[in-house]
Structure 1
Amino acid sequence: MKKPVVAITRPADRAKKACEIVEKLGGSAVLAPTLDLKPVNTDSLKELVRNKDSLDWIVFTSPTTIDSFNLFYPDFFNELNCKVAVIGNKTGSLLEKQGITPDLMPDDFTAEGLVEEFTASDVTNQTIGIPRTASARDTLPKGLEKLGNNVIIAEAYKSLFPMDEDAVEELISKIENSEIDAITFTSPLTVHNFFKISQDNEKLAQLLSDKLLTVAIGPITGKVLEEYGVKHIYPDTYTVPDMMELLFSTWRDSNGR
C-alpha cells in the first residue's frame, strides 16, 4: 500500500508530535503551518497576575497559555491557590508538570464541554480568570457569565497569520498536483488562514473534499470546514493522537487494508 502523505497545518511549535505520529503510523508528514502563536505579556495578563489571589478559578484552554506564564511569570504556578480547569489532556499534562492537578477537565474537549461541566458542578458567583488569545470564541466566557460568575479575560498570546506564507502556497500547489493524500486541521483559524492564502477557495474546497482525506480535530473545527464546503471527518475524542488514528484507519479502509 502506498505510504500516505499527510499535511500538518498546526503551528510549528505544536507540530512535532503530530509529525511523529504520522511517521509512526506509516505515513510521511508535510508541515505547512497556517497559524503562528506568540506569547505576549499584555496589560490584561499583568492585571490577572496581580489579582490572582482574588480568583476562585482559573481556566487554561491551551498549552500556549501555560508557555506564556512560564515565559513571563515563572513563579505563577508556585503560589496558585484557586481551583484550576483545563480543556484537553495535553494542557492538563503540562499543568501537572508544574505540580498542579486540574480540578476540572471535561470529557468533551471544547468550550461547550467545559461550560457543561461548570453547570453540572453548579459553579456560580465565582471569580474566574481566563488567560487566552484575543481571537478565541466567546462561548466560554459568555457561558460562565450566564451562570452568574465574574469572568476576567486576559490576553496571554496572539494567534497570528502564518509567517511563512510560501510554505502554505507550496502545500496548495502540492494538493493541486495530487502530491498530498490527507490534511489535518486543529483549530478554526488553521482553516480560515488556509483559505485566505488560497487563490481559488471553491477549487481548493473541492480538492479537499474529493481528492484528499480531510480530518478535523473536532466538531468546532469541522463546522468551519463545512462553511467552506469541505467534506471531512473528526474523531470521537478531540486530540491529535485520536485524529491521526482515525485518519490512518480510514485511509487503510479506503485503500483495501
Structure 2
Amino acid sequence: MKKNKTGKVYIIGAGPGDAGLITLKAIDCLREADVVVYDYLVGKDLLKYAHSDVRFIYAGKQGGAHTLSQWQINDLLVKEAKAGNIVARLKGGDPFIFGRGGEEAEKLAANKISFEIVPGVTSAIAVPAYAGIPLTHRGLTSTVAFVTGHEDPTKEKSDIDWQALSRIGTLVFLMGVKNIEKIVKELKDNGRSPKTPAALIRWGTTPRQEILTGTLANIATRAKECKFAPPAILVVGEVVALRDTLQWFDSKPLFGKGVVITRPEKQADDLAKLLIKEGANPIHFPTIKIVPPPDWRELDAAIKKLEDYDWLIFTSANGVAFFFERLLAKKKDIRDLKGVKICCIGPATAQQVQNKGIKVDLLPEKFISEGILKSFSGKNLKGKKILLARAAKARDVLPEGLKKLGAQVDVVTAYETVNSGKKKSDLEALFKENQVDVITFTSSSTVNNFVKIMGGGFKLSKSVKIACIGPVTAAAAKKAGLSVDIHQEEYTMEGLVSALIGYFGKKPATRKRGKNK
C-alpha cells in the first residue's frame, strides 16, 4: 500500500462486543489501514476485516494490567502516522464515551496529524438492551445518565454530583464492579431508595453475557458472593424490573453454549453465523487446512477430456472450488461441461455449483456416498463414464459402488486435507475455564486431526459433548474413542444446529446468573 508523507488515524468505536454491531464506516476504515491498534474489549472477529498484510498492535488494558500506558498509546499513534501509515485505532464501544478517545485526538491534533472519529455503538446503550432493560420508559422514567465507575485517580476530589444523580430515573455506570460498594452507598446516602432495582451485566451483547439482578440494598453483597468480575456495567432504576418480561437474548435456545468448530478457518463462518443466531458462542479451532494436491496431473488429464464423461460427481464444496479453479487455469470454462451431468452430495456443494451458473442434475436424499449410490441405482450406468473429483484421502465406497453398477469411474484428486498446525493449548485453556460445551465434527479428517493435535493422553470431560455430521464422521469419532452424543437427521450445517437445539434447547444456560443467585 502506498504511504502518504504523513499518515492518518481513524479513532474507531468497535461496539460493545457483538461483532454485528460494528458500523459500515468502521469496516471501511479497517480495510484501509496499514496498522491496527486495538484494545482488550475489541471482539477478535472484527480484525478479519483488515487486509492480509496489516500490522496488529495490542494495546489492551485489563483491570490494573496495562499493556501500554495511555501516554504510550498516544505517542504510538503519532509515531505510526508520521511514518506514513494509515492507522485504525480500534476501541471498545464508542471512543468518546469513557473511551479516552478525546485524549488521543488531542495528541494527534497537537502534532498536526490528520484524524477522523468513527462513532461506535456504546455499551451504555447496547448492553442493557441485550439484557432486556430499556433505559427509558414512558411509564417509568424519562431521564437517563451515564456515569463512569472509575474516575481519574489523580483527581483530588470527585466531580460526580451524587445528589443530582440520585434523582435521575435510570443510571448506567460503566466499569462499575470494582467500586460498586461506594456507588451504592453514595446513591442511598443521597436519597435513592434501597428498594430500587439494580442489575450488573458482564460481557454484554455476547454469548458469554451474565446478569445479576437485585436492589440497591443487596446488589453489592450479591456481587461479592458471586465473585462477579469485570468487564461489567451497573444499571440502576425501575426499568431494571422490566427484564423479567423483556429478556430476549439470553432466552435463545443455545445461549451461552460454547461450540467448538473444527472446520477449516475459511469455511467456518457459515456455521458460526448459524450458531450466533441461536445464542451460542462459536469457538474456532480448525483441525484441518485445505490445500491443493502435490501436482495437478490427474485433474488436468481429466479436464483435457471432459467431453468423454457422462457424469461429474462432487462430494464436497472444496472439490467444486478447486475443480473450477483448475478449469480456468487450463483456459476452459463452464461451456466445456456441455453434455456432462452434475451430481452433488448435498445442498451446500450443490449451491457452489449453482453459483457458477450450472444446473445440478442429481442430489441424493441422504447426503452421504451411500445416498449417491442409491440415487444412481435406478439408472442405467452400463458403459457410462463418471469423473469423481474429491479429496486425496476418501472412502472407496462410492467409486466401487458405481463400478458395480457398470460405470467406468475416474477418481482424481482435487485437493488435500492436512493438519492445521493448531496448538492444543489454545483449547485446553477453554476446557479449564468450562467454556466448552460441545465439539462439532464435520468430516472424518476433522476428527482424526483433532485427536492428533490433542495427543494420546488427552481425555475429554464428560460435560463436553460431541456432535457429528453424518454416520461416517460419527464412525470416525467412535473409532477414535470419542462418544458421540448428538446425532442429526439432516447432514447439513443447518441440520447440525437443529440437532444442537434439540439436545441443549430445553436445558438452562449454565453461565447465566439470575436474580435468585
**Cα deviation, residue 176, structure 1:** 4.6
Structure 2 equivalent of residue 77 of structure 1: 334
- Report the alpha carbon displacement of residue 105 of structure 1 after superposing the two structures with TM: 0.9
Structure 1 contact 44–154 (Cα < 8 Å) conserved: yes
CA–CA distance in structure 1, aligned partners of residues 432 and 449 of structure 2? 18
Residue 8 of structure 1, CA deviation: 0.3
Deviates more, 1:34-43 or 1:106-115: 34-43
What is the aligned counterpart of 2:478 among 203, 226, 240?
226
Q: What are the Cα deviations for residues 37-58 of structure 1, in whole angstroms up to 9, with x where unaligned?
A: 1134610000110011100111
The Cα of 1:26 is off from its aligned counterpart by 0.4
Q: Which residue of 1 aligns with 2:449?
A: 193
Shift of 1:64: 0.9
From 107, 121, 135, the equivalent of 2:393 is 135
Corresponding residue number in structure 2 for 1:34: 287
Larger % of helix: which?
Answer: 1
- Name the stretch that deviates more: 38-47 or 80-89: 38-47
Q: How many residues align?
A: 251
Conservation of the 8 A alpha-carbon contact between 2:317 and 2:349? yes
Residue 220 of structure 1 deviates from its aligned partner by 0.8
Which residue in 2 is equivalent to 1:161? 419
Kindly provide the amino acid, as one letter, of the partner of residue 386 in structure 2: I
CA RMSD of aligned residues (A): 1.9
Deviates more, 1:214-223 or 1:244-253: 244-253
Provide TM-score, normalisation by structure 1: 0.91
CA distance in structure 2 between the partners assigned to 1:100 and 1:79 by the alignment: 12
Among 46, 62, 65, the residue aligned to 2:300: 46
Are 2:493 and 1:240 equivalent residues in the alignment? yes
Q: CA deviation at 1:138?
A: 0.9
Distance 1:242 1:84 in 2: 24
Q: Aligned residues: percent identity?
A: 29
Deviation at 1:153, TM superposition (A): 1.0
Stretches of structure 1 lacking an aligned partner (at least 5 in a row): none
Aligned to 2:404: 146
For the pair 1:179 / 2:431, whether they are aligned, the reply is: no
**Highest Rg: 1 or 2?**
2
Map of 1:59 onto structure 2: 313
The Cα offsets for residues 71-97 of structure 1, whole Å up to 9 and x where unpaired, read as 222343222121111101011111111
3-state DSSP class of the match of 1:122? coil
Q: Deviations over 1:201-245 (max 9, x none)?
A: 5623xx2xx211211011110111111332222210100111012
* In structure 2, distance between residues paired with 1:120 and 1:218: 24
What's the offset of the Cα at 1:169? 3.7
Rate the CA distance shift 1:54–1:229 in 2: closer, same or farther, 3 A. Answer: same
- TM-score normalised by L of structure 2: 0.47
Contact 1:235 1:246 in 2 (8 A): yes
Q: Distance in 2 between matches of 1:49 and 1:169?
A: 43
* Aligned-partner residue type, residue 194 of structure 1: F
**Structure 2: how far apart are the matches of 1:196 and 1:55?**
39
Name which of structure 1's ranges 34-43 and 134-143 shifts more when overlaid on structure 2. 34-43
Equivalent residues of 1:39, 1:67 under 8 A apart: no
Q: Which runs of 4+ in 1 moved over 3 A?
A: none
Return the letter of the residue paired with 2:407: N
Q: Residue 390 of structure 2 aligns to a residue in which SS? A: strand
Uncovered stretches (5+) of structure 2, i.e. residues with no partner = 1-249, 510-517
Q: 1:76 to 1:60 in 2, by over 3 A?
A: farther
Which stretch of structure 1 is more off in the superposition, 195-204 or 106-115?
A: 195-204
Residue equivalent to 2:274 = 21
Letter paired with 2:452: K
Corresponding residue SS for 1:140: helix
SS at match of 2:342: strand
Alpha-carbon deviations, 1:167-195, whole Å to 9, x = none?
x4411442254220111100001001101
Aligned to 1:170: 426
Tell me which residue corresponds to 2:64: none
For residues 245 and 130 of structure 1, the distance between their equivalents in structure 2, rounded to whole angstroms, comes to 31
CA contact (8 A) 1:8 1:29 kept: yes
Given that 2:306 and 2:336 are in contact with CA atoms closer than 8 Å, whether structure 1 keeps it comes out as no
Deviation at 1:249, TM superposition (A): 2.8
Contact 2:292 2:416 in 1 (8 A): yes
Q: Distance in 1 between matches of 2:363 and 2:380?
A: 15
Query: Which residue type is aligned with residue 79 of structure 1?
Result: D
